[in-house]
């Protein structure tokens, strides 16, 4: 089926933006995205038209909100002040990035894993967990595994998880699986709560501090007022903004602006290291 997307939308930039770790790009330019037990393949035909593997109904109900297509990112970019040359450059280079609305449980585990790990290492750990504890899905293009649910991950011991190169994070994953599977933390209920409530509740999980909680809030719950600050963002704030956080003034677009700068920082590491 063919769909048309007229707003900012670049699959490769989304895949490389540090918010999702299970995207696959094929040699023919097609991209695969997976969330829970649903898989979609998307191939760009031109700047606005895309071939997708799912039905219109599935696209409208699942993938349209997943890609945050109900919001105009071109309008978001228009809010960047003309004096903010760094963010202007970052948004130009990151044009096409969108904040994905991913599964909260997967984001909890993914961003606990992400601490002190490179993006390739994060991807390897996530795929190892999926292949060992998830369920196989056979598509027209490949065999892929679902990310294990909290209940499925309770089958893993700390030793098992350490064997998957998770090190000190292993007990954090065990704690997360227990709290979510037992209903101590209700991830569905958090959709109805305030940004502050979601942020504080997630921090009840071992290994979830401010930065990880902000990532989950942004990349799972779509709380775009929240902007995670990691090592690279800290360097940008110090080097380009004289130590003053530039994101709060953008209010409900703060997280989107952060993602432009994060992507830009990744592609300009040498400049930040000087």
How much is the pTM? Answer: 0.95
SS3 222: coil
Cβ contact 79:224 at 8 Å = no
Q: What percent of the chain has pLDDT over 90?
A: 95
- Burial per residue of 177-186, b for 16 or more beta-carbon CB atoms within 10 angstroms, e otherwise: bbbbbeeebe
pLDDT at 268 (0 to 100): 87
Strand order in the sheet with 38-44: 2-4, 49-52, 38-44, 31-35, 24-25
Q: What is the DSSP letter of 163?
A: T
- Among the candidates 93, 117, 144, a domain finishes at 93
Residues 67 and 135 in one domain: no
Q: What is the dihedral of CA 227, 228, 230, 236, to 10 degrees?
A: 0
- Rounded to an integer, the average pLDDT of 195-217 is 98
Closest CA to 217 of 3, 12, 10, 19: 19
Q: Mind listing the pLDDT tens digit for each residue in 240-249?
A: 999 999 999 9
Mean per-residue pLDDT of the chain? 96
Q: Mind listing the pLDDT tens digit for each residue in 17-34?
A: 999 999 999 999 999 999
Residue 216 binned pLDDT confidence (cut-offs 50, 70, 90): very high
Q: What is the DSSP letter of 148?
A: P
Residue entry with tokens 């490949």: 142
Q: How far apart are CA 245 and CA 241, in angstroms?
A: 7
- Among the candidates 93, 115, 131, a domain finishes at 93
Q: Mind listing the pLDDT tens digit for each residue in 35-86?
A: 999 999 999 999 999 999 999 999 999 999 999 999 999 999 999 999 999 9
Residues 210 and 109 in one domain: yes
Burial of 209 (0-12, 13-18, 19+ CB in 10 A): exposed
Residues 87 and 116 in one domain: no
Cβ contact 120:106 at 8 Å = no
228, part of any domain:
no
Residues 88 and 148 in one domain: no
Range of the domain at 81: 2-93
The structural domain count of the chain equals 2
- Burial per residue of 103-142, b for 16 or more beta-carbon CB atoms within 10 angstroms, e otherwise: bbbbbbbbbbbbbebeeeebbbbbbbbbebbbeeeeeeee
Q: Mind listing the pLDDT tens digit for each residue in 95-136?
A: 999 999 999 999 999 999 999 889 999 999 999 999 999 999
Q: How far apart are CA 55 and CA 53, in angstroms?
A: 7
Cβ contact 76:63 at 8 Å = no
Residues 31 and 114 in one domain: no
pLDDT at 269 (0 to 100): 81
Here the CATH number for the domain that contains residue 22 is: 3.30.310.260
Q: Mind listing the pLDDT tens digit for each residue in 4-18?
A: 999 999 999 999 999
62, part of any domain:
yes
Statement: residue 274 has pLDDT above 70: no
- Among the candidates 50, 73, 93, a domain finishes at 93
- Which residues does the annotation mark as catalytic? 211
Residues 109 and 215 in one domain: yes
């Amino acid at each position: 089926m063919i769909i048309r997307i007229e707003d900012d939308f670049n699959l490769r930039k989304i895949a490389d933006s540090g918010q999702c770790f299970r995207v696959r790009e094929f040699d023919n330019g097609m991209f695969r995205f997976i969330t829970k037990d649903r898989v979609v393949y998307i191939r760009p035909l031109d700047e606005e038209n895309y071939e997708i593997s799912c039905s219109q109904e599935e696209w409208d109900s699942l993938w349209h909100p997943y890609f945050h297509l109900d919001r105009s990112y071109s309008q978001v970019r228009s809010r960047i002040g003309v004096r903010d040359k760094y963010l202007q450059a970052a948004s130009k280079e990151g044009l096409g990035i969108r904040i994905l609305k991913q599964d909260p449980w997967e984001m909890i585990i993914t961003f606990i894993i992400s601490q002190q790990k490179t993006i390739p290492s994060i991807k390897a750990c996530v795929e190892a967990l999926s292949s060992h504890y998830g369920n196989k899905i056979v598509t027209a293009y490949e065999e892929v595994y679902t990310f294990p649910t909290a209940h499925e991950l309770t089958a893993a011991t700390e030793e098992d998880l350490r064997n998957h190169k998770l090190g000190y994070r292993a007990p954090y994953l065990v704690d997360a699986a227990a709290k979510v599977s037992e209903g101590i933390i209700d991830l569905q209920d958090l959709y109805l709560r305030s940004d502050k409530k979601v942020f504080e509740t997630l921090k009840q999980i071992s290994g979830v501090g401010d930065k990880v909680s902000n990532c989950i809030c942004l990349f799972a719950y779509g709380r775009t007022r929240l902007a995670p600050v990691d090592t690279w963002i800290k360097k940008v704030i110090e080097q380009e903004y004289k130590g003053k956080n530039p994101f709060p003034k953008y209010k409900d677009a703060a997280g989107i602006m952060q993602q432009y700068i994060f992507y830009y920082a990744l592609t300009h590491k040498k400049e930040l290291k000087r």
